[in-house]
Chain A
Amino acid sequence: MTAALELDRLSVHFYNGRHDIAAVREASLSIAAGTSFGLFGPSGCGKSTVLRVVAGIELGWSGQVAAFGTPYRAGQKPQGRLRRDVQMVFQDPYASLHPRHSIRRTLEEPLIVNGIADARRVAAEALAAVGLPPDIAPRTPNALSGGQRQRVAIARALLLKPRLLLLDEPTSALDMSVQAEILNLLMDLKAAYGMTLLLVSHDRDVIAHVCDSAARMRAGLIEAILDRPALAAV
């Protein structure tokens, strides 16, 4: 069985005027399909950069990246199957939804663009799957709470039935009480859809709660890979 995600000596450099900053240095890891993997470490350690490479947002990297056996090409946005298989939920639900589009439009448009039939019904099901009532569909995001917005963002990321879901600090912009709800929702959805999760967080407890194994990063390097007992221990 091929791994959901394989990174082999992934490096990312940024040029900041004169200085060359190595955001990620030769990171290698492998995530088995159907598991939850966490990346954690202090801010600026390169964990989000790894995620953005896998998402196809950050294109300037070197090394090898492959999802479900399909290699990425540096400098090119992922296309076709790979594009749909890998989706992402962003940190700030206030910035990742269009402020002037209704929830219905937010959910139906990707379905229409990707040629999925019966967009209205599929969008309604997606709302139900993340535990939102159908009557919020005509509203715009500013009528929703942060937790509801993040649920919409999760519903949107799941529309195309991705096999690998990337989560960039999905709960850090939310209240404590809402954080647990969202994390449990993600775990339920992972089981229901048979997805692989790659979760980035600075919060070790979040990682320990959700993930089967995790990597600790520091200054662009992967310091250690921790399995389930090791995660639970600390």
Chain B
Amino acid sequence: MSLAATARSRSFAPLLRFARRSPALALGSSIVGLVIVIALVAPLVAPYDPTFQTMSDRLQPSSVAHWLGTDGFGRDILSRLIYGTRPTLLIISLVALIMAPLGIAIGIVAGYYGGIVDRILMRFTDMAMSFPRLILAFAFVAVLGPGLLNAALALAVTSWPPYARQARVETQAMRRSDYMASVEMLGIRGPRLLFGHVLPLVFPLAIVRMALDLAGMVLIAAGLGFLGLGVLPPTAEWGKMVADGTPVIFDQWWVAASPGVAILILSLGFNLMADGLRDIMDPRHG
């Protein structure tokens, strides 16, 4: 074996070991990673402009020119799928950025201070939890108008409570530990204690939960798009693409099936990633 090949195999060795330890995590994160890369380089890899209409080429089946065929306006489905990664990823990353920090912060504060602070924050959490997620998302979009940001906001507002509850329970358990007693004796308290000491221990489980939640978010984001409440046309969005394909589903099935499969694959990717992360991070699922 040449020196270069040895060096390369050595640099890949940790990756291989990682993949063997948790195939689910490796497969899931490759899927999610691939989708992110596609979203970043969409203009380079998409064969056509996703909004360019050619009425003479409408509803074409798969061919050399259009690998996945064309839709009702003669737009290339593959290009629309590639561009459709963008709104989907944008929505779920916005949701993740709002819900996880908000939920964790509320949970840690409630769990640490207890008493009246805990009661107020947790009743507030119960209230937020009692809203049906999709219905509230509809209401938000109805009031604020359809659009990516409003959809993300609606999802985030209803999805943070489980993070708060989980963080609270973990913080409460930690509250009674020798560790907390020892650092409090040394005068470490307040935000420094909560965010420097408690947060790093609450974080891993929150990450697992988030990966699991994001799988559901992919579906809900697509659902909003399907109902016409997400991104506005003509921007390519997977849920909207499925909706566009439903009138012709028996004759030109590929129009609805292609985005449907894309949704399935991304959602599966997040699920596998969450499963693998849980195996690695949570000792109880060893």
Chain A residues within CB distance 8 Å of chain B: 55-57, 77, 83-84, 86-88, 90-92, 95-101, 109-110, 113-114, 153, 156-157, 159-160
Contact = CB atoms under 8 A, between A and B. Distances in A.
Interface stretch (B186-194, B238-246, B247-255): B186-194
Contact of B182 (A83, A96, A160): A96
B201 interface: yes
A55 B181 contact: yes
Contact of B178 (A84, A90, A109, A159): A90
Contact of B186 (A57, A90, A92, A156): A156
List the 3 closest pairs (A to B, CB-CB), nearest first.
Answer: A110-B186, A90-B178, A96-B178
Kindly name the residue among A55, A98, A114 whose own CB sees the greatest number of chain B CB atoms within 10 A: A98
18 contacts: A55-B185, A57-B181, A57-B185, A83-B185, A87-B185, A88-B185, A90-B181, A95-B179, A96-B179, A98-B197, A99-B201, A101-B200, A109-B192, A110-B183, A114-B186, A114-B187, A153-B182, A157-B182
A97 B185 contact: no
Contacts of A56: 185
Nearest to B179: A96
Contact residues on B (Cβ < 8 Å of other chain), bracket: 10 to 19
A109 to B, nearest CB: 6
B177 interface: yes
Contacts of B186: 87, 109-110, 113-114, 156, 159-160
B179 A97 contact: yes
Given A83-B187, A96-B179, A101-B197, 13 more contacts: A57-B181, A86-B185, A91-B178, A95-B178, A98-B197, A109-B186, A110-B187, A110-B188, A113-B186, A113-B188, A114-B186, A156-B186, A160-B186
Nearest to B190: A113
Contacts of B187: 83-84, 110, 113-114, 160
A97 B177 CA distance: 11
B119 to A, nearest CB: 20
Contacts of B177: 95
Contacts of B188: 109-110, 113
Given A110-B188, A113-B187, A113-B192, A88 B182 contact: yes
Contacts of A113: 186-188, 192
A86 B184 CA distance: 12
Nearest to B197: A98
Contacts of B181: 55, 57, 88, 90
Contacts of A114: 186-187
A69 to B, nearest CB: 20
Nearest to B186: A110
B59 to A, nearest CB: 56
Nearest to B196: A109
Given A83-B187, A110-B188, A100 B182 contact: no
B75 to A, nearest CB: 50
Contacts of B179: 95-98
A96 B186 CA distance: 13
A110 B189 CA distance: 10
A160 B185 CA distance: 10
A84 B184 CA distance: 11
Contacts of B183: 98, 110
Interface string B166-188: 00000000000111011111111
A190 to B, nearest CB: 18
A56 B201 CA distance: 24
A101 B182 CA distance: 14
Contacts of A109: 186, 188, 192, 196
Contacts of A90: 178, 181-182
Contacts of B178: 90-92, 95-96
B231 to A, nearest CB: 40
Contacts of B200: 98, 100-101
A83 B183 CA distance: 12
B192 to A, nearest CB: 7
Contacts of A153: 182
Kindly name the residue among A101, A113, A159 whose own CB sees the greatest number of chain B CB atoms within 10 A: A113
A160 B187 CA distance: 10
Nearest to A162: B185
Kindly name the residue among B178, B188, B197 whose own CB sees the greatest number of chain A CB atoms within 10 A: B178
Nearest to A105: B196
Contacts of A110: 183, 186-188
A128 B201 CA distance: 29
A53 to B, nearest CB: 12
Nearest to A160: B186
A157 B182 CA distance: 8
A76 to B, nearest CB: 13
B80 to A, nearest CB: 44
